[in-house]
Structure 1
Amino acid sequence: MTDATTTGSPAKVTVADSPESVLRRVFGYEALRPMQARVIENVLAGQDALAIMPTGSGKSMCYQLPALLWDGLTVVVSPLISLMEDQVSQLRELGAPAVFLNSTLDYQTYRRTMDRVREGAVKLLYVAPETLLRPETLVLLEQSRVVCLAIDEAHCISAWGHDFRPEYRQLSTVRERFPHAVCIALTATATPRVQQDIQRSLGIAQTDTFVASFDRENLFLAAQPRVNGLQQVLHFLDEHREESG
């Protein structure tokens, strides 16, 4: 069981910090990727965002960086316990005040984590949608200064998606409960129909929707007629002996 209340050295982010300085000092990067920069600029201006970006493109940075700049709490909705625990662990190693609430915590740790959120000692709170929708969690958030609602795997909102979850659909009620909080929805999988459904459910405008290219220049597909399968494979491997991928 991971203690959700333990953090590393304080990130020491102040309201005077710029996105660039926090990116370098906390995360260790010199520059954002173009799509990350566009989304972050939008949300730091107080606008909602729907970001459709491929796996590995750094979607989590789109809410983690603003969360460390804002004076308040960012609530991150994540569907998997393992995923939220991994992200919280990584953030704590960087010195960021992040915690999670889920069923792996014992009673005392759960209550201690809630107290830290209530006291304003936390910047990022990770929860599953089921946990977020509980009355006690909503009361906790009403006692806190929620500045952002970040919804990971947002395609789960849509009944037209491949991984629909009814609890995700109910997140629109949380959105209505905190109308002044910026909403960031993120997914790597969204057909145009699913995209429109997410927009309608969360009230995100088309002008606040960002769709990255899914073209991977380092990947290609090729097909050849099979003549002698084993020999063809061995010949191919020999030709590309010094290459990776």
Structure 2
Amino acid sequence: MPPKRKQPPPETTYGPTTPITIAESDRQEYGQLPTLLRKRFGLPKDARPFQVDGVICQLLGYDTVIHAGTGSGKTLVAAGVYALDKARQRLTVLVSPLISLQEDMMSTFNNKYGIPAIAINSIMDGQNLSTAIRVRDWNL
């Protein structure tokens, strides 16, 4: 007699149990955001809905996690906040597991989007790290 098959594990839900809902009044307040992002960053078309929602969530003060495929536009979500003048002094922490990706992202924010960015990782010595944090002449 063959061994019994194991029952599949119960379904697991990842993420918040109560997803964040963006109020209609907030959507109206930031209604021009897709066009603003396109113009500010030279995009060929308006931002995707998940990008706009990610930017709005940050503007509303929510910690925001975006899970999307490579090349789908996650970088715009981090940069998008800085399209608004009132958000230019904000600080965004973007977590990346690879130093090479951190360096690439830092270059993209600095050169493509014009947003001061720094990569804080094990390559920096203690003195440079302390100076970078104390001076804080970067947003990302």
TM-score with structure 1 length normalisation? 0.36
Tell me, yes or no, if the aligned pair for 2:82 and 2:115 is still in contact at 8 Å.
no
| Residue 104 in structure 1 maps to residue 123 in structure 2 | yes
Q: 1:78 to 1:45 in 2, by over 3 A?
A: same
Amino acid aligned to 2:98: L
Q: Distance in 2 between matches of 1:108 and 1:31?
A: 42
Deviations 1:84-121 (A, max 9, x none): 1110011111321111111222444333312222xxx2
State the match for 1:24 in structure 2: 39
Amino acid aligned to 1:57: S
Please show how residues 38-187 of structure 1 align to structure 2 within 5 Å.
38-67=53-82, 69=84, 70=87, 71-94=89-112, 95-117=114-136, 121-124=137-140
Q: Distance in 2 between matches of 1:36 and 1:57?
A: 9
Tell me, yes or no, if the aligned pair for 2:79 and 2:115 is still in contact at 8 Å.
no
Picking from 29, 43, 50, the partner of 1:35 is 50
Tell me, yes or no, if the aligned pair for 1:68 and 1:123 is still in contact at 8 Å.
no
Tell me, yes or no, if the aligned pair for 2:110 and 2:117 is still in contact at 8 Å.
yes
More contact order relative to length (CA 8 Å, sep ≥ 6): 1
Q: Distance in 1 between matches of 2:131 and 2:60?
A: 33
1:31 Cα shift? 1.5
Amino acid aligned to 1:31: D
Q: 1:98 to 1:50 in 2, by over 3 A?
A: closer
Identity over aligned pairs, percent: 35
Count residues with an aligned counterpart. Answer: 103
Unmatched 5+ stretches in structure 2: 1-31
Tell me, yes or no, if the aligned pair for 1:23 and 1:65 is still in contact at 8 Å.
no
Unmatched 5+ stretches in structure 1: 1-17, 125-245
RMSD: 2.5
1:32 Cα shift? 0.5
Tell me, yes or no, if the aligned pair for 2:37 and 2:47 is still in contact at 8 Å.
no
TM-score with structure 2 length normalisation? 0.59
State the match for 2:16 in structure 1: none
Q: Which has the larger radius of gyration?
A: 1
1:47 Cα shift? 3.6
